Structure 1
Amino acid sequence: MGSVVISLDAELGWGFHDLETLPRNRVESGRRGWKACLELFDEFDVPATWAVVGHLMLESCDGIHDDYPAPDGWFARERNAWRDREDLRFGPNLVDAVLAADVDHEFASHSFSHVLFGQPETDRELAAAELERALEIATAWNQSVASFVFPRNDVGHRDILAEYGITAYRGISPYREGVRGFVDSTVRNRSLLVRPTVDEFGLVNVPASMFLFGFEGPARTVAESVWADPMVRQARRGIDEATRRDGVFHLWFHPNNLTRPRDDQRLRSILSYLDRTRASTDLTVETMGDVARRLEHARGVDGGAVATDSRV
């Protein structure tokens, strides 16, 4: 029997501040989607890993960030175009809502300012600063951090994560996304389960299985008009597979992906199905931290010999 993991990249405007052209509907939907996610998770009693950009937890700042080793212009949008957009730069009330939720969510890190860890311009000093500042803010909030989600899934500087006490990260999905991924999993009957592993730094890599909003635009509209929401069908397949086999079905998305009621309905349909399946089987819902603790326990029981998820 496997498990289901849901992780979210909680970033508001920080997920877009370095882009020249902004996806306006998503930029403006961050707070709406965040609240919708919390309501749905509470309704169906589903815990998730919330990877939060650390800057959101500040009450205010001047946008200058003196002595921060960021590239020139990194905070330019915050200082200029978004100077009066506190709703995009700060979200302590939203983070409070995650921590106060009835469901026991995992608080995780998504860096301090959404720096891309795998890019050449992100040197060791900057990666360390991103993590150190995020952890300082978390500590001020009396929160510990065990899991990390790389901005835009751009994996890099994993050794630094280990040095700062992180135990798990979301790894790159081994599967294709969008229409091609849907074809692979349905027509070719490809598995949607992933195998968490322990990397060379002792970190638990919990790879993504499926991006919930990888099938959008006209293709989604056509599919829903003649058939059903393809991502709901795919998620149900992943949940069903986790009831038959060992492994993890790891679903991820951003709160700002929920831009309209039909996006809320997509998540509602999946959580409702997950809740019904969990009630009638031994399927469990885990956070990334839960997976890491489970693998660490298995390694301890086996004298450190376990390098992969022993249930896979």
Structure 2
Amino acid sequence: MGSVVISLDAELGWGFHDLADPPAERVEAGRRGWSVMVELLEEFDVPATWAIVGHLMLDDCDGTHAEHPAPDGWFERERTEWADRDDLRFGPDLVSDVLESDVDHEFASHSFSHVLFGRPETDHELAVAELDRCHEIADAWDQSISSFIYPRNDVGHRDVLAEQGIAAYRGKSPTRDGVRGVFDSTIRDQSMLVEPSVDEYGLVNVPASMFLFGFEGPARTVAESIWEDPMVVLARRGIEEAARTDGIFHMWLHPNNLTHERDDRRMRAILSHLERQRTATDLTVETLADVAERVAGASCLDERATVSWS
């Protein structure tokens, strides 16, 4: 029985605050895309893993974060250019929409302030502080964290995740994005299914299969004019392959990727196809936590069987 996983990197302005020239259109689309995705997932009854930047769950702050061991200037944009942009820095209303949804979404972490865990300047102390703060905020919201999605998929400090009680993370995709990904899948018939594994820290790595907004700009416009949305084509292929097998097809996106109605149409087309496949086959939808529980349980059974055999 195959399954589909959808994970979302929910970050509003925090996904761009460290960039010299943030993409204005996506920065401003964060709230819109978030609400659209909540509505679409409810419409099609699809549970997803929402990895949320912890700072969004605050109602306010002074912008200094004096006790946080971030590098100098890390919170500079919050203190200056975005000081009056509460809509980019905070989102408790949006978080509530996810938690109060009729769909059983997974609440996961995307760090406290979108720190890049794989960078040399992110030391052990900073990684611990980011997760400590997330746990504190989650506790205040009566939530727990079992899955982590690395900002910009920059994997690092997995030992800290394990120490902090995290069970799963989204690993790097074995497939390519954009035009190369379309070529690999449609021409070379490369599978987009992924195999979760338990790493040396006991964490379950659930690799990404496909970034749903990896084919954009003029190339997308041209492709849609002579064919159809390539991302919808690839997503259908992945969903159908999962339905035929025992594999996992793991799609991911940011809510801020939904900048226009055509992006909404992309997601509606993908979710409606998922609904049809779920109805016609044994295909299921899982969260990262669901996969981790299943894979870790199977791993423990394998270990017990090995010990018993030896």
Which TM-score band (shorter chain)?
over 0.9
Q: Percent identity?
A: 71
Q: CA deviation at 1:304?
A: 4.8
Alignment of 1:16-55 (within 5 A): 16-55=16-55
Q: CA deviation at 1:271?
A: 0.2
Aligned partners of 1:168 and 1:224: how far apart in 2? 36
**Aligned structure 1 segments of 4 or more residues deviating by more than 2 angstroms:** 299-306
Decide whether the 8 Å contact of 1:12 with 1:89 is kept in 2. Answer: yes
- Structure 1 match to 2:249: 249
SS in 1 for 2:207: coil
- Structure 2 match to 1:92: 92
- Structure 2 match to 1:184: 184
CA RMSD of aligned residues (A): 0.9
Aligned partners of 2:278 and 2:297: how far apart in 1? 24
Aligned partners of 2:305 and 2:180: how far apart in 1? 37
Give, as a single letter, the amino acid of the residue that structure 1 aligns with 2:98.
V
Aligned partners of 1:98 and 1:90: how far apart in 2? 15
- Structure 2 match to 1:110: 110
Give, as a single letter, the amino acid of the residue that structure 2 aligns with 1:3.
S
Instruction: Show structure 2 runs of 5+ residues with no match.
Output: none
Instruction: Show structure 1 runs of 5+ residues with no match.
Output: 307-312
TM-score normalised by L of structure 2: 0.97
Pair 1:230 & 2:194 matched: no
Decide whether the 8 Å contact of 1:299 with 1:305 is kept in 2. Answer: no
Aligned partners of 1:278 and 1:129: how far apart in 2? 41
Give, as a single letter, the amino acid of the residue that structure 2 aligns with 1:123.
D
SS in 1 for 2:9: strand
- Structure 2 match to 1:288: 288
- Structure 2 match to 1:219: 219
Q: CA deviation at 1:300?
A: 3.2
- Structure 1 match to 2:168: 168
Aligned partners of 1:144 and 1:26: how far apart in 2? 29
Aligned partners of 2:141 and 2:8: how far apart in 1? 20
- Structure 1 match to 2:58: 58
1:137-191 Cα offsets, whole Å, 9 max, x none, are: 0011000100000000000000000000000000000111111011000100000
Aligned partners of 2:122 and 2:50: how far apart in 1? 24
Aligned partners of 2:304 and 2:53: how far apart in 1? 33
SS in 2 for 1:29: helix
Q: CA deviation at 1:247?
A: 1.4
Q: CA deviation at 1:243?
A: 1.2
- Cα pair distance change 1:233/1:304, threshold 3 Å: farther
Aligned length: 306
Q: CA deviation at 1:296?
A: 1.9
Q: CA deviation at 1:292?
A: 0.2
Aligned partners of 2:127 and 2:30: how far apart in 1? 25
Give, as a single letter, the amino acid of the residue that structure 1 aligns with 2:275.
D
- Structure 2 match to 1:69: 69
SS in 2 for 1:88: helix
